[in-house]
Structure 1
């Protein structure tokens, strides 16, 4: 929790404000636990399991605080994903290529029109520019849309980045917790190495970026094909998230890691 607490404090969220939000989450998860165990989720049962006072449980139930709003993937994210997976919009290195802003064939306008007919392409472009995900350059009197080489990474501190962070962290922890509780095994593994020089860390960071780009393209391509095949199937009610991460730190900043540990892999799958 230490990295999370640092983030909360940097955003002005102190202990009191955080626990106020956690109260609702504890009640909701207690309700899920009781339902899974086929037990009645009475106010007393929820209070006993969650540790939240009964008056707060009652307030939560009466005011519908347990209803979560399902958020759809942002339009800008959908456009960027299609840009990555559609061969017409990629270069020979399979990266999203620069596009004419307006055109009847391969252009940013046609890219957006393949995703939505309800939002004007210029509106989507303005949002991508705001997020720093594309730039516009004029060449021979025409506007070209240049994608960020970093991919879909919203700027630091933005609402969009916080939403991505929330989704990634939540699903990562869910996979780990599922394994710990003995449910069907989920992929949740990592490799770590200690005793490296800064130069070696840079090399491994670059390798991880390269491998992630390859995996991302493959997953987006395959999932897009499956989505098109199954979009009208009434059983298509599931979602997936596939991710990867890389982190480096000094050994002195990681007291829980033994210095004589050279290479390891978490066996949680």
Structure 2
């Protein structure tokens, strides 16, 4: 970047515009104005400078934060005392729902040998039931609450006669409600960007994270339809496989790892995007 700090004068400028364009589209659609975005960006500049640009393990002074971020020192002091609010209740609910579905699709006790989810009795004195599945994930949320939410979203079917719960086979790829969409939007895209950023900041050696894409142009809509259908099928297969592997490794680590050793997480994602190149060229 040049001394002026103008991103358009650097190689990062065009990349920054391409990254921010779809985000700005979402912000305008949801009524988030430019001043609101500026406020969030200033908070993030201060937060990242204090957390990721420490000296000898100590957070930088307000003056140094101001120098490296361009945020006025008086604003740095004010923003430093402000903590970004997060809907922890939503995060917990989404996490429990996703984990219940994930375990249902991964545990050999709740799936067929081919990996299809088995119907579960809602309650059972012995063996696995829907209630024991939920309780294995969290004891803070009642199983009935989770069942009602899954029913509301059409992810499960409750058979009144047998009092059993059946999970839809495509639940892992189902579309979430609006609150859940924003939750996964921030985490999925955030982790994707984090992987890409670490790769471009690593000057020597191999890139630390997997971050690749396949792309073609000059295709008909029918051809892209065929590729997309295949991509969705393969995505479902690989997500299901990694879900089972993650479940197996997590259970194994609970048994074998020393206290404090099993503290890492991972996220693997896939996406497919298509667009009319003529429309893109008009921008």
Q: Same fold per TM (> 0.5)?
A: yes
SS of the residue corresponding to residue 81 of structure 1 reads helix
Q: What is the correspondence of 1:39-188 to structure 2 with a 5 Å cutoff?
A: 41-61=60-80, 63-65=81-83, 74-91=95-112, 93-103=114-124, 104-138=126-160, 141-152=161-172, 155=175, 158-182=178-202, 184-188=207-211
Superposition RMSD on alpha carbons, in Å? 2.8
How many positions carry a matched residue from both structures? Answer: 253
Q: 1:187 to 1:227 in 2, by over 3 A?
A: same
Equivalent position of 2:15 in the other structure? none
Q: 1:39 to 1:188 in 2, by over 3 A?
A: same
Q: Counterparts of 1:194 and 1:200 in 2: how far apart (Å)? A: 11
Pairwise CA distance, 1:38: 6.7
Q: Counterparts of 1:111 and 1:217 in 2: how far apart (Å)? A: 18
TM norm structure 2: 0.78
Q: Counterparts of 1:38 and 1:136 in 2: how far apart (Å)? A: 54
Runs of 4+ in 1 over 4 A off after TM superposition: 36-40, 66-73, 153-157
CA offsets 1:217-262 (integer angstroms, 9 cap, x no match): 2212222222223235312222111111111111213339xxxxxx
Q: Counterparts of 2:157 and 2:79 in 1: how far apart (Å)? A: 46
SS of the residue corresponding to residue 193 of structure 1 reads coil
Q: Does 1:247 align with 2:273?
A: yes
Q: 1:118 to 1:41 in 2, by over 3 A?
A: closer
Consecutive unaligned residues of structure 1, counting only runs of 5 or more, are 257-269
TM norm structure 1: 0.82
Q: Relative to structure 2, which stretch is displaced further, 83-92 or 68-77?
A: 68-77
Pairwise CA distance, 1:188: 0.3
Consecutive unaligned residues of structure 2, counting only runs of 5 or more, are 1-19
Pairwise CA distance, 1:39: 7.9
The higher relative CO (CA closer than 8 Å, separation ≥ 6) is in 1
CA contact (8 A) 1:136 1:144 kept: yes
Q: Counterparts of 2:87 and 2:64 in 1: how far apart (Å)? A: 25
CA contact (8 A) 1:179 1:186 kept: yes
Equivalent position of 2:227 in the other structure? 204
